[in-house]
Structure 1
């Protein structure tokens, strides 16, 4: 994959290069991370039902990675496509799910027309976005949604905010930043972007997880 630095904030470049380096082993380990997490799957299913009930506009799975969540949305009757900053991840998602569209892109500058999506799903992708860039990402979500469209976010959480940089994973050198935040810390810029909170869920860690998982469901005014 090309290591040429794209336009935009530095974190996009480091995230892209890091995920390109680990795309294959990551995709093998997380071929379907929803299958053994029924609560997470229930939330995605509820999100899909809300989108389906409001019309036929498609869903963007932002930070789609290996593409299994994008495929799950399709199985739930929602037209969906994937967007990921890593060309390596996009290539593997296309191989695994040849009937679904995946393209390279960033949540801070979505290459999509205004008011064309029924939903935006971002599971464990805003965790790589620094605080100062969250308002830009959420403004983009608002821009591309149709009136009444929904957003579902999932992210690592806890009692307070934190930051970690991983320099190695799956035996590869990387420079990948992780940010964990309280639900309130994410809800504030989300609502300021015009996406009104409809539900929040905080679940305890399961399996090998070390931190709680938070989910926020929001909606653009109809």
Structure 2
């Protein structure tokens, strides 16, 4: 096929096809007789793939990488590229949502006071900037992709701070009191060991983790568990999706500045009247986390697992779930 035929077939312009060639995304053969481009069905398939990934919001450079991974390693690598794109779009959506809320706050202040007090407006703007900075700082500085293949061995051997591992996971399931048919979210799910307890109780479970290799192992162990690439600061779900949200041996990796933003994200995806459970070595952060939850109308309880390991369980009041201090 010639370039005009391909453009007509796919309802696009020849200029766009040439752009894909310039960026190295296409390399159609040229006729030996007249040097015209000759497009094969494989070229058409590749153009369709590019168009589809563009609709998912990818830029051309990322599409080039995704296609290279796809052709080299198959659907698993393409899936990961799309998951990273979804995570990026979720971060952008959360930032836009925050900008809208900041603007709404300014309008409400103006309507109430007939002016814009600089101190209050600056406070709203600074909060927005702080949250944006924290999301932008998120990186996998722990190397969980590298550790994934030995993760279950290490936790079973109680290495790397995983003392009383199975006891904590069992107590989280016990305290959440899952009911069959409920939908739960496990953040930092790793290879799915905590989520498995809720699956056995008849729950529908979703798991979020930043590590591609952890999630790959998780899917092989627990095919019924929905997995998504993401992190505490930008959960890849819309509002009020889950009956309960749990996490184990993961919250301690957050800084003191990141923890309130993570709690806001957990609250955002939780249904009214939902439950939270955080199990970890919380140290000095324990009381601060409890106070944060109490101020947002959660009934909380702290459980002692050992000298350093704690579990915070919290249930939200349905009728006042939108209240803020």
- Structures share a fold, TM > 0.5? yes
The answer as to whether partners of 1:11 and 1:129 remain within 8 angstroms in 2 is: no
SS of the equivalent of 1:13 reads coil
RMSD: 2.8
The answer as to whether partners of 2:172 and 2:279 remain within 8 angstroms in 1 is: no
Q: Which structure shows the bigger proportion of residues in strand conformation?
A: 1
Aligned partner (choices 301, 305, 315) of residue 199 of structure 1: 301
The answer as to whether partners of 2:179 and 2:201 remain within 8 angstroms in 1 is: no
The answer as to whether partners of 1:60 and 1:119 remain within 8 angstroms in 2 is: yes
SS of the equivalent of 2:240 reads coil
Question: Aligned residue for 1:102?
Answer: 227
Q: Deviations over 1:49-80 (max 9, x none)?
A: 2x428xx4410000101101111111012211
Pairwise mapping of residues 73-152 of structure 1 onto structure 2 (< 5 A)? 73-152=198-277
Question: Aligned residue for 1:187?
Answer: 290
Residue 312 (structure 2) pairs with residue 216 (structure 1): yes
Pairwise mapping of residues 61-72 of structure 1 onto structure 2 (< 5 A)? 61-72=186-197
SS of the equivalent of 1:44 reads helix
Flag the 1:14–1:38 CA change in 2: closer, same or farther, 3 A: closer
Distance 2:194 2:168 in 1: 14
Flag the 1:98–1:64 CA change in 2: closer, same or farther, 3 A: same
Tell me how many residue pairs correspond in the alignment. 185
Q: Deviations over 1:123-160 (max 9, x none)?
A: 111111101011111111111111100000011144xx
Flag the 1:195–1:132 CA change in 2: closer, same or farther, 3 A: farther
Asked which structure has the greater CA Rg, the reply is: 2
SS of the equivalent of 2:235 reads coil
Structure 2: segments with no counterpart, 5+ residues: 1-76, 92-134, 319-325
The answer as to whether partners of 1:31 and 1:66 remain within 8 angstroms in 2 is: no
The answer as to whether partners of 2:187 and 2:247 remain within 8 angstroms in 1 is: yes
Flag the 1:40–1:64 CA change in 2: closer, same or farther, 3 A: closer
Q: Which structure shows the bigger proportion of residues in helix conformation?
A: 2
Distance 1:14 1:140 in 2: 21
The answer as to whether partners of 1:62 and 1:122 remain within 8 angstroms in 2 is: yes
SS of the equivalent of 1:60 reads strand
Structure 1: segments with no counterpart, 5+ residues: 162-180, 206-211
Distance 1:101 1:185 in 2: 32
SS of the equivalent of 1:82 reads strand
The answer as to whether partners of 1:30 and 1:66 remain within 8 angstroms in 2 is: no
